[in-house]
């Protein structure tokens, strides 16, 4: 009781701090427990499991991702697919971002809402949308059948279908990220460039693109990371196609090669983690990591 009386005479701010430590711990404890038991412990176990070989602990499984032809091929395929999808979605989405940020037209809000609507579709639903468009009885092959008598663009279950599907989920993400940065750009720079006699093309290369450069890097990293880790879409469309997430699944559930699946999962996690760190540090996002 005596402490309470003593505290009562102290400034309010001081009283805050005397109990703050215990309160802070109590408030964070549930989050810490969930994260520790269901995230940190499993991930550390995964790291260790990947090191686990018949001859004891070694880096063999991790090195096999690069040295063994089958695993290396899946990595090459994943990187190539992600790179092509990233470039294509960046070109298209940056164009769209300028369209939305710079011009006014009727129905703009609806247009933007429709464009970002598929953001929350799970990968399997994205896959189904591609089946609807390009599947065996999909819209485009059916329409082609009526017009030219052959089911053209029946590509849903091929590599081309996978590419189109990845574009489907990247476009809304990248466009949304780019619109924000194009809107923030100081347009007087472009006006100045033009008034100094630069051609439209020169202004684009020497003024506009350098001004949005950080956003281009950030959005590319986001697109690349999402493509590398995407699983549900490929699982719905092209299970025979050898990409990293698909190989992790088959190694674990069909070959029961748990150690190799673990090593690849760690590898994939490290790649997306690094890419998303780039996304956050270059982006206009809230920059949680720097806070």
Span 170-209, contacts to another protein by CB under 8 A: 171-173, 176-177, 187-188, 191
Span near another protein by CB under 8 A; candidates 11-19, 57-65, 71-79, 207-215: 11-19
Of 54-83, binders to another protein (CB under 8 A) are none
Tokens read off for 16: 């805050």
Candidate residues 90, 96, 155, 238; the one interacting with another protein per rule CB under 8 A: 96
Candidate residues 75, 90, 129, 215; the one interacting with another protein per rule CB under 8 A: 129
Tokens read off for 63: 């090195």
Candidate residues 113, 143, 196, 205; the one interacting with another protein per rule CB under 8 A: 113
Phi, psi dihedral angles at 198 (to 5 degrees): -70, 145
Span near another protein by CB under 8 A; candidates 58-66, 69-77, 111-119, 201-209: 111-119
Of 12-51, binders to another protein (CB under 8 A) are 12-13, 15-16, 19-21, 23-24, 27-28, 30-32, 34-35, 38-43, 45-46, 49
Residue 97 found at the interface with another protein (CB under 8 A): no
Residue 168 found at the interface with another protein (CB under 8 A): yes
Candidate residues 64, 84, 124, 152; the one interacting with another protein per rule CB under 8 A: 124
CB 123 within 8 A of CB 235: yes
Tell me the site size for another protein, rule CB under 8 A: 101
Residue 161 found at the interface with another protein (CB under 8 A): no
Nearer to another protein, 60 or 279 (CB): 279
Of 204-263, binders to another protein (CB under 8 A) are 222, 225-226, 228-233, 235-236, 245, 248-249, 252, 258, 261-262
């Amino acid at each position: 009781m005596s402490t309470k009386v003593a505290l009562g005479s102290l400034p309010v701010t001081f009283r805050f701090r005397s109990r703050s430590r215990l309160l802070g711990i109590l408030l964070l404890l549930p989050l810490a427990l969930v994260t520790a038991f269901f995230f940190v412990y499993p991930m550390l176990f995964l790291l260790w499991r990947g090191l686990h070989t018949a001859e004891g602990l070694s880096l063999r499984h991790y090195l096999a991702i690069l040295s063994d032809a089958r695993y290396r091929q899946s990595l090459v395929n994943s990187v190539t697919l992600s790179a092509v999808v990233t470039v294509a979605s960046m070109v298209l989405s940056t164009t769209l971002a300028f369209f939305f940020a710079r011009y006014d037209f009727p129905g703009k809000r609806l247009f933007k809402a429709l464009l970002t609507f598929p953001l929350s579709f799970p990968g399997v639903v994205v896959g189904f949308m591609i089946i609807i468009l390009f599947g065996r009885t999909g819209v485009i092959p059916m329409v082609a059948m009526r017009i030219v008598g052959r089911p053209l663009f029946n590509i849903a279950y091929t590599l081309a279908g996978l590419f189109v599907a990845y574009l489907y989920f990247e476009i809304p993400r990248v466009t949304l990220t780019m619109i924000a940065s194009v809107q923030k750009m100081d347009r007087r720079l472009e006006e100045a460039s033009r008034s100094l006699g630069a051609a439209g093309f020169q202004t684009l290369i020497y003024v506009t693109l350098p001004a949005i450069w950080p956003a281009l890097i950030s959005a590319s990293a986001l697109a690349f990371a999402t493509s590398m880790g995407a699983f549900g879409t490929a699982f719905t469309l092209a299970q025979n196609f050898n990409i990293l997430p698909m190989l992790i699944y088959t190694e674990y559930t069909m070959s029961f090669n748990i150690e190799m699946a673990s090593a690849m999962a760690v590898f994939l996690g490290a790649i997306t983690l690094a890419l998303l760190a780039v996304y956050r540090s270059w982006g206009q996002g809230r920059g949680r990591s720097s806070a």
